[in-house]
Structure 1
Amino acid sequence: PAGRGAGGGVMSTTGGSGAAVGIPMAAMVVQYASWHVMFWGTTAVGALGTALAWWAVRESPVREPGRFDMTGALGLALGLSCLLLGVSQGGQWGWSSPRILGLFVGSVCVLGLWWAQQLRAARPLVDLKLATSPRVALPHVAALLTGFAFYANSLVTAQLVQAPKATGYGLELSIVATGLVLLPGGVIMLLLSPVSARISAARGARVTLALGTLVIAAGYGIRIINSHSLLVILLGSAVCAMGTAFSYSALPTLILRAVPAGQTASANGVNVLMRTVGQAVSSAAVAAILVHHTSLVGGAPIPTLHGYLLAFAMAGTVALVACVAALVIPADPTLRDTRRASGSSDAPRDEAFEGA
């Protein structure tokens, strides 16, 4: 039990590391093979992951009686699919086009019906009463905002370093070189996850989450100061990765301590889902900014440096809002009572055990 928070944090951060490491691997496939190979490759990796999970992951002894809420699962999948498709394609299809408006209206209707169904269901897919409590809802909000801030780093950096040198700021790197620029971020996230777990054990997961989002904002501050030098770009990207490692490691710890054992899978699943929604919204927001701040370079519209700096400022501001959300998360009453009873400065080190 004492290692539960650290284990969950490492698992969460590994997901971000895999995304960061996957970018340069994907770049090599695209450059030396075909983008069609990407789909076959990810299918093979998914099959391998399924086999490894079946072979290596021990079964949980916790069981919830009742049938799986298939209606809730399908409703959530349909509603979110409409939402994310509209967000991701709005820039290309036009935000006021009938298709985009139809997707958004459909998403609102389906998710509204899904919400009502979840409140009536005997065994809902998501316990909405629990999910809307401050100790659970605020980590979900922080996850959405952190996902937004994290993804902007990879997305904007990849475009900026590939921009032509004629822009005055671009480095004109190849696809593979661009992937290598992002690779250190994935390694940093993986290496820092145990450090994040120690901070959570000593100071609490709220502090770790707030610290992580603050570090992300600092990384974007570096990018705003200088986005011409490759070394500074690497530094700013690495600082954002450090903050993401702290944030992603703290989020599942907060969820684990806020919900009953039988609902940890559902609550953590929603938390990861909120990160994904944040990333999709980040992609659309960054695209909207860059599309509206372009100049002709060699006859082609290329985003201006001002547009990139606006994207950095937007992501940094979102990270600061996530920091505020982290700071207002209610403290774990069990931990507070334990610390008060012990009167020891070492009491926070038992946080992971108490939460489990």
Structure 2
Amino acid sequence: MVIPIQGELPQLLDSTAADTAWVVTITLLCAAVTMPISGRVADMVGKQRVLVASAVLLLVSSVVCALSSSLLPMLVGRGMQGMAMGFIPVGIALLREIVPPRMAGSAVAAMSATLGVGGAIGLPLSAWIVQAGNWHALFWVSAAVAAAVLVAIVALVPHVHDAHPAHFDVAGAVGLALGLSLFLVGLSKASTWGWASGRTIGCVVAGLAVLVAWAVLELRTAEPLVDLRSASRLPVLLTNVAAVAIGMGMMAQAIVIPQLLQLPDVLDYGLGQTILQAGLWMAPGGLMMLLFAPVSSRLMSTLGPRTTLMIGATVLGLGYVVTFFLMGEAWHLMIGTLVISIGVGIGYAAMPTLVLDHTPVREAGSAVGVNTLMRSLGTTIASALMATVLTSDTQPLGPVSVPTESAFQLCFVISAIAAFVGVAVAATIPRGSRTAEQGPEQDVAEPVAGAQVD
């Protein structure tokens, strides 16, 4: 949402570039921390209630941002927007309870695809809004969309009584939030602070230490925030590891390709596109993710989610191979983006399906939240790594330095490797899961036992 105005934020918010970089970082950070917590709360109080709360939070946070003209309130609003992202894993888990089994695969695939569709469509839309009016309009539009979503949830989403009352693990939530915050801040700021700087190493090491202590605490807690014993089941564990690698592969296109499109055409490899034009070249990829959601569902029904995940990750990796060789024209990059997006559309739906098929219903929200967190971890690693590559190999262009062609190519190579690592990890997920052994009509969990729908 803020990408079209990111370069202007220091002037718009009367602050420094280093400080306004947190406008993006804090959203990613809060989203990563909130997803598993929202999932656990949804398992306890009911998923529809958490969806309503997330939509309200998005509405309020968008209004806060729309009214902001300085850094602090903008950071508060953007952090709240990140917290509203808990909507996604809870929504995916709820679909398995309210959609008929024969349609659940398509529904989960479609919602999983929205993780990429929103970004692909949001970039050109945000650029157009900024060019057509005031930058505050970005957040007023977001508030209007949030209000519409809130009304739709209340009016259209069935009120499933799926709550499993339990004690909320406050210590676990605090420990997870602290550990993830330190670790992800270290990663996201590594390209700015330097990978070998004391701040980067200190944040990463401290974050890992806190997370280890948190894991020990969770294993000793009767009602933990995250059931690590369930998460350590081999199919779930390997799916989450694959999610990190595939998340890395997915994020690179959103970071690298728009920069390549917008480089001045005085460079041999620059394409001279405006940010609006770049967004329009990227937008078909988002639509492709949505179009291939039914394909993913069909593949899961016939081949199982494990094989579907491998196919999606393979196509994702091949997309970067195509992009490596097709960098000469904007439409060439669009072809690469389409292939990458097909891979994401196929693979992203398989991951929550694999997790849900090996997780008790009472822990569904939390389990999908952890899987979404692992994808977010992959995107954060990709962001830091791509930024480091692009700033480490540059050439002068007037008063500034820009990444070289080889830097962009290296990014595509790294992304392809990450996707193919995801294929290798997915291949080790044990066969014989419920979805693989049973027919397509049985591969989705039945609605919650005893659940009632208003």
SS at the partner of 1:302? strand
- Where does residue 261 of structure 2 map in the other structure? 161
Taking a change above 3 Å as real, the CA distance of residues 60 and 140 of structure 1, as seen in their structure-2 partners, is: farther
Q: Secondary structure at the match of 2:292?
A: helix
Is 2:428 the partner of 1:328? Answer: yes
Secondary structure at 2:368 match in 1: helix
Contact 1:335–1:354, Cα closer than 8 Å, also in 2: no
Counterpart of 2:267, as a letter, is T
Would you say 1:229 and 2:329 are equivalent positions? yes
Partner of 2:379: 279
TM-aligned CA deviation for residue 218 of structure 1: 0.9
Describe the SS at the equivalent of 1:138.
Answer: helix
Q: For 1:54 and 1:73, how far apart are their aligned partners in 2?
A: 28
Q: Is the 8 A contact 2:243 2:375 kept in 1?
A: yes
Structure 2 partner of 1:189: 289
How far apart, in 2, do the equivalents of 1:157 and 1:23 lie? Answer: 13
The correspondence for 1:203, drawn from 299, 303, 309, is 303
Residue number in structure 1 paired with 2:182: 82
- C-alpha distance in 2 between matches for 1:229 and 1:219: 16
Q: Which amino acid aligns with 2:344?
A: T
Structure with the bigger RCO (C-alpha within 8 Å, sep 6+) is 1
Contact 2:175–2:210 (CA under 8 A) maintained in structure 1: yes
Q: 1:35 & 1:104 partners in 2: Cα distance?
A: 35
Residue identity matched to 1:281: I
Question: Counterpart of 1:260?
Answer: 360
Normalised TM-score (structure 1): 0.91
Q: Structure 1 residue 244: deviation in Å?
A: 0.2
RMSD of aligned C-alpha atoms? Answer: 2.1
Which AA in structure 2 matches 1:133? R
**Matched residue SS, 1:173:** coil
The aligned counterpart of 1:94 is: 194
2:402 aligned counterpart, secondary structure:
strand
Deviation at 1:67, TM superposition (A): 1.6
Give 1:306's aligned amino acid.
S
Give deviations 1:290-331, integer Å, cap 9, x for gaps.
111111122321111111000000000100000111111112
Which residue of 1 is the match for residue 122 of structure 2?
Answer: 22
Bigger mean CA deviation after superposition, 244-253 or 70-79:
70-79
Gaps of 5+ in 1: 339-346
Which of 110, 129, 138 lines up with 2:229 in the alignment? 129
Query: Once the 2 structures are TM-superposed, how far is the Cα of residue 263 of structure 1 from its aligned partner?
Result: 1.1
The answer (yes or no) to whether the contact 2:357–2:434 under 8 Å persists in 1 is no
Which of 420, 439, 443 is the aligned partner of 1:352? 443
Query: Does the 8 A contact of 2:180 with 2:207 survive in 1?
Result: yes
AA matched with 1:256 = L
SS of aligned partner of 1:166: coil
Q: CA deviation at 1:161?
A: 0.5
Where structure 2 has 5 or more consecutive residues not aligned to the other structure, the ranges are: 1-100, 448-454
CA change 1:88–1:18 in 2 (3 A) is: same
The alignment partner of 1:295 has SS state of strand
Distance verdict in 2 for CA 1:123–1:354, change over 3 Å: closer
Matched, 1:305 2:396: no
In 2, distance between residues paired with 1:31 and 1:235?
A: 27
Name which of 146, 161, 181 aligns with 2:246: 146
Q: Is the 8 A contact 1:167 1:304 kept in 2?
A: no
2:231 touches 2:367 (CA, 8 Å); kept in 1? yes
Structure 1 counterpart SS, 2:443: helix
Deviation readout 1:188-229 (Å, 9 max, x if unpaired): 111110111011101111111100110011111111112012
Question: Which of 154, 158, 167 matches 1:58?
Answer: 158
Paired letter, 1:350: E
Percent pairwise identity: 36
TM superposition shift of 1:105: 2.8
Q: Which of these residues, 222, 245, 250, is aligned with residue 350 of structure 2?
A: 250
Distance 1:115 1:40, change over 3 A: farther
Q: Match for 1:318 among 415, 418, 422?
A: 418
Summarize deviations over 1:251-300 as a string: whole Å, max 9, x none: 11111111111111111011111111111110111111111111112232
1:107 CA displacement: 1.0
Report the counterpart of residue 343 of structure 1 in structure 2: none
Q: Is the 8 A contact 1:5 1:252 kept in 2?
A: no
